[in-house]
Structure 1
Amino acid sequence: MREESDPATSESAASVESVIERYLDGIEAGNSRKNYRSVLIGWEAWLREQTDVTTLNAVTVMHCRRYARRLKELVRDGDLRASTANTYYAYVRAFLGFCVADELLDTNPAKSTRATDELPEDHGDRDRQFWKRKQRNAILTHVDRRAAKARTGGSEREIRRALRDRALVALLALSGVRGGEVFAAPADERRTGLTWNDVDTDANAVRVFGKSREYEYAQLPERASAALVDHRERCDPADASWPVFPTGHGPSRRRAVEAELGARGWSDEEVDERCESAPLSTVIREERVAPPSLTTNGARSVMKRLCADAGVDVRGEYLKPHGARRGLGHELYASGHAELAQSALRHVSIETTHESYSDIRAAETARQVDRVLKRD
């Protein structure tokens, strides 16, 4: 048993971030270190943002339970596979186990059944959604028609919204990006949403903060590029650092104005007076306040609305953002273009692509076996 010490001077009172770095230094395999770093940094950011916990000795079973519940939510929303969610939790549990071995903690809170009971059950890939070609074409056609209709008789606000939504759907459907790479994730301070600085329509590419927590370039097919060009011309961002998909949520936009003008030295009274002097959109543009990006939850709400309007039904649900990526890869792989699927989805190796679409490989193997047996 460790000797009792003053919490203010104990190593267990060290920041979670600093102990993570110590733990990572001891992992010899480069790929393993990279994978652990990505997950643990994300967990530390979630812990700090959602629970205000920054020191190791403040981490409890309930924090681990809440993290497990958050992973379950991501699986339910289609942003994570159940197997991946369980792997993420295992990384956190292993880190906290290291803390016990290093006598920084007495027990591992992540091992408690109260916490692990909240983890999603892994039933394999049976329930993973992917956009089928017919569904993808239906939603793309709908947003195209909606944009054309808005342009002929809609208000300026309706036109901007329709063009934003068309660009959003086209980017998801055709580029292979993840939702967390282009929309803001409140629990991750580094995922603040795609900006116009990240979009290069001339090179048909967008720069995204990838799953590896490094910047990567995703391919941008012509139809998605054209939709983004139309969207940019209409919304006319005051600065290239502004988000590609700004939120339309009024309170969030107001908070952004208050925070930015307050940081510039404006008093609360001056901010209120300015916000009451003109529409918020005018204040944002004239004062050059970058509006907040649409969040991942906000993007799901957009897709729910668009699918309902278009009459696109997916077994009683809607087309989830991450299902677009899976659908694109599925179609490319099934068409015999495994390497193209790997490139479009930015998989590190072709083995990852083969594993992701093992169902297609199995079906093709079955067809070949049938052909051989019929000849016999």
Structure 2
Amino acid sequence: MSGSTERGASSGGTTVHEAIESYLRYKINADGSKTTMRSPLREFADHCRDERDLEFVDDLTPHDVRSYSEHLYDRVIIDEGLAASTAHNYFAYVRAFLSWSVREQHLESNPANTNTAMDPLPEDDGNRKRQYWSQEDRETLLEYATKRVDMALEGTIRTDAETAFRDRAIVVMLDGTGARGAELFADPKDDKRNGLQWKDVDFDERLIEVYGKSREYEQAPFPASVHNVLKRWYRVQEPTTEAWPVFPTGHYGSKKRILEEALDEDRVSSTLEDRGDAGKTEVLDRLHREHEVPPPSISKEGVRRLLKRFTDEAGIDPDGEYDYLTLHGARRALGRDLYTSGMSEKAQEALRHNSIETTHEAYADVKMKDVSDSIDDVRS
């Protein structure tokens, strides 16, 4: 029963992972239902273990389930990699599993049946049209990001050249690698996701090493177009250490806090006070370089705001459930282009899906349209 004396300590009870496997084996009869439910339920168990330091099912509380709801919210709103309707389905799977756990006397009550657990779930407005960056939209976005670099170099926009080069590299990296936003940029809620660093980039092999959804390090490829832009950005940035983030934040407070932690709060303050005609951000950037203290990476939320602004400024009106080009829309588009070209296995490799079935499921709508077109061809 709930209430173990030491959270996560070995109590000889049933782990969340074990309980889920028993639930799927003995309670869910249909193979199709098992396949549908297995991945999100295992993700819930992984979240409990990795994010909540919780191993045993009898330790689960409404706050643990709420943490999973917040995770689903982030996947819908911040990562844009999950439809709101799917998030609600995943939560329903977890709630059903926990009801079974009550009947099996693993729990006294269902921690998912509380407002505390359910409140963070994103609102489902019924819009299920998934976004893919279209060929026209992605070309417009890439052209606009390049145009900003030219304008920054000419001094015709307020953005400095280094930031414009960074922003173009962000857009090109999203467009060409299939990497998830959480693999490239910082996630303040996950201390293991601090953003891509230059030590993770291999220009010779044209690959990057990312901390994947599996919570293990994985290799992701990037094509020549990404390679050239990223190489140019590296030369512009001139990082003083390979631990430098590929996409540093421009947020003043975040950079100042890191310096205060690495050096000394009084030392940073006195340097800022004695800066003369130099701007505060310029002083912070100089301190980061002089002392080889890498600034923080830009966050997923920061990139989401950037893409919102670029979509508006470039005059792009994307299809799908969002009115701006999303981080995950780029990943979907890359997989779609490979998939529809008859390279489903290459799509699986580029997106780093565990199985080809996952890839087929991700592009079921594309596959069905192809079937419909084939019927038209045969019957015409």
Aligned partner letter, 2:73: K
Aligned mates of 2:252, 2:131 — CA distance in 1: 32
C-alpha change, 1:154 and 1:369, in structure 2 (3 Å) is closer
Counterpart in the other structure of 1:207:
209
Alignment of 1:278-297 (within 5 A): 278=275, 279-297=283-301
Which residues of structure 2 form unaligned runs of 5+? 23-34, 276-282
1:370 shift after superposition: 2.4
Alignment of 1:324-343 (within 5 A): 324-343=330-349
1:244 shift after superposition: 0.7
C-alpha change, 1:56 and 1:355, in structure 2 (3 Å) is closer
Counterpart in the other structure of 2:378:
372
Q: Aligned to 1:111, what secondary structure does the other structure show?
A: coil
Aligned mates of 1:145, 1:340 — CA distance in 2: 32
Counterpart in the other structure of 1:224:
226
Q: Is the 8 A contact 1:193 1:293 kept in 2?
A: yes
Q: Is the 8 A contact 1:61 1:110 kept in 2?
A: yes
Of all paired residues, the percent bearing the same amino acid is 39
Counterpart in the other structure of 2:178:
176
C-alpha change, 1:122 and 1:353, in structure 2 (3 Å) is farther
Aligned mates of 2:219, 2:292 — CA distance in 1: 28
Q: Aligned to 1:217, what secondary structure does the other structure show?
A: strand
Aligned partner letter, 1:269: D
Q: Is the 8 A contact 1:11 1:104 kept in 2?
A: no
Select which of 259, 266, 269 maps to 1:269: 266
Aligned mates of 1:349, 1:67 — CA distance in 2: 24
Q: Is the 8 A contact 1:194 1:243 kept in 2?
A: yes
Q: Aligned to 1:12, what secondary structure does the other structure show?
A: coil
Aligned mates of 2:48, 2:178 — CA distance in 1: 25
Counterpart in the other structure of 1:24:
17
Aligned mates of 1:21, 1:55 — CA distance in 2: 6
Q: Aligned to 2:131, what secondary structure does the other structure show?
A: coil
Aligned mates of 2:168, 2:9 — CA distance in 1: 40
Please identify, of 331-340 and 81-90, the stretch whose mean Cα deviation from structure 2 is larger: 81-90
Alignment deviations for residues 313-371 of structure 1 (CA, whole Å, 9 cap, x no partner): 32672111111001111222223322222222122222222211112221221222223
C-alpha change, 1:218 and 1:157, in structure 2 (3 Å) is same
Q: Is the 8 A contact 2:76 2:83 kept in 1?
A: yes
Select which of 13, 28, 32 maps to 2:5: 13
C-alpha change, 1:311 and 1:203, in structure 2 (3 Å) is same
Counterpart in the other structure of 1:312:
316
C-alpha change, 1:357 and 1:247, in structure 2 (3 Å) is same
Counterpart in the other structure of 1:143:
145
1:92 shift after superposition: 5.6
1:150 shift after superposition: 2.3
1:46 shift after superposition: 5.1
Aligned partner letter, 2:231: V
Q: Aligned to 2:220, what secondary structure does the other structure show?
A: strand
Alignment: residue pair count: 356
Which residues of structure 1 form unaligned runs of 5+? 3-9
1:35 shift after superposition: 7.1
Q: Is the 8 A contact 1:257 1:289 kept in 2?
A: yes
Scaled by the length of structure 2, the TM-score of the pair is 0.79
Q: Is the 8 A contact 2:198 2:245 kept in 1?
A: yes
Q: Aligned to 2:112, what secondary structure does the other structure show?
A: helix
1:88 shift after superposition: 5.2
Alignment deviations for residues 116-164 of structure 1 (CA, whole Å, 9 cap, x no partner): 4654577888322111110011101111122133234479971110110
Q: Is the 8 A contact 2:336 2:363 kept in 1?
A: yes
Q: Is the 8 A contact 1:97 1:108 kept in 2?
A: yes
Aligned mates of 1:236, 1:304 — CA distance in 2: 28
1:86 shift after superposition: 4.2
RMSD over aligned CA atoms reads 3.7
Q: Is the 8 A contact 1:36 1:91 kept in 2?
A: yes
1:307 shift after superposition: 1.8
Counterpart in the other structure of 1:7:
none
Please identify, of 10-19 and 235-244, the stretch whose mean Cα deviation from structure 2 is larger: 10-19
Aligned mates of 1:87, 1:111 — CA distance in 2: 15
Aligned mates of 1:237, 1:276 — CA distance in 2: 26
Alignment deviations for residues 77-132 of structure 1 (CA, whole Å, 9 cap, x no partner): 41323465346546765786698679775322123366346545778883221111
Counterpart in the other structure of 2:77:
76
Counterpart in the other structure of 2:30:
none
Corresponding position: 1:42 with 2:47: yes
Aligned mates of 1:152, 1:257 — CA distance in 2: 32
Aligned mates of 2:309, 2:69 — CA distance in 1: 29
Counterpart in the other structure of 1:322:
328
Aligned partner letter, 2:240: A
